[in-house]
Amino acid sequence: MYSPKELSNKTCVVGIGETTYSRKSGMTDLTLQLTAAMRAIEDAGIEPGDIDGILPQAAGATSEDFATNLGIKDLRYSAQINMGGASPCAAIQNGVLAVASGVCNYVLLLSGRNGYSGARTAQSIGAGLGSGPMRTMGEFEYIYGLVAPMLWYGPMARRHMHLYGTTSLQFAEVSIAMRRHASMQSNAQMKDPITIEDHQNSPILADPFRLLDCCLQTDGAAACVITTPERAKDLKKKPVYISAFGEAHPDSPSSITQRPDMTTFGIAKLAPRVFEMAGMTPKDVDVAELYDCFTFT
């Protein structure tokens, strides 16, 4: 039987690109993502026309838009992943499979939105195109007021507090750590240190979340290029090998309120699989970059 382990370290990232992250970029989703794409392509030391696979975020633009603007003449594979904020991470699996199977030589992964300015009609410059299909939530949850992520995750956090004794002070420690790490990142927006007192004195936005429990709405984009180790030998940067990858979903993924366990996420299913695939354990990890839309997550 075929094992995903056979794909461990068979592909690698050879270029990355980011825009500046801001509160008012003055750019459309497409422009932001194209900017990040060109920076990733330049970082890899290849030409835009070398790209033959595109995995864009499912908002703001299509693969055809990117192919046209980048001058790609032979696009062999494209797909859009609809998993909300987890979409760019899940897209890595598609990129790996496209490259490892020989369908593509270089796959470009893209993610970005003018998430702050584009959400405000008076300031919108055409990128308020929605965040992808969320029909179940739209029909059965939005109508009761659950229209923003903090309102979806707030009950999860409160449930976790009820079951496990988690406290707001523990959420504060997460927020403080994230700020400390941001101070070492030149492209981060919020670099000033905060204290537990700062966290506890920030206003509650959606119980139990305070202002400093929540990430910023931000304009920005990021991109990366995936290829094979063989092709990477001819490029200018040392590649980063992809040892493991995967995708997983919580039970009832399209409806947060109807999940049988609101405190269990898809990562609980995925983590054991990727550690096994990589031949590693959590103790081997010394850098963890976690999705931090809220301190609870």
Which parts of 179-247 are beta strand (E)?
A: 204-206, 209-210, 219-227, 240-241
- pLDDT above 70 (res 119): no
Tokens 């609980």 identify what position? 268
Q: Residue 121's pLDDT is what?
A: 43
What are the helix (H) ranges across the chain? 29-44, 63-70, 87-100, 135-140, 149-164, 168-182, 196-201, 229-232, 267-278
103 domain-assigned:
yes
Q: Residue 1's pLDDT is what?
A: 43
Q: Which of 147, 175, 172 is nearest to 257 (CA)?
A: 147
- pLDDT above 60 (res 90): yes
Residue 55, SS3?
strand
Residue pair 23/219 in contact (Cβ under 8 Å)? The answer is yes
- pLDDT above 80 (res 136): no
Q: Residue 123's pLDDT is what?
A: 47
Q: In this structure, are 21 and 103 located in the same domain?
A: yes
292 domain-assigned:
no
Percent residues over pLDDT 90 in the chain: 65
- pLDDT above 80 (res 127): no
- pLDDT above 80 (res 122): no
CATH number at residue 64: 3.40.47.10
Indicate the pLDDT class of residue 166, thresholds 50, 70 and 90: very high
Q: Residue 133's pLDDT is what?
A: 55
Q: Residue 20's pLDDT is what?
A: 93
Q: In this structure, are 169 and 34 located in the same domain?
A: no
Q: In this structure, are 84 and 206 located in the same domain?
A: no
Among 156, 184, 214, the domain boundary falls at 214
Q: Residue 120's pLDDT is what?
A: 55
294 domain-assigned:
no
Mean pLDDT of 86-112: 95
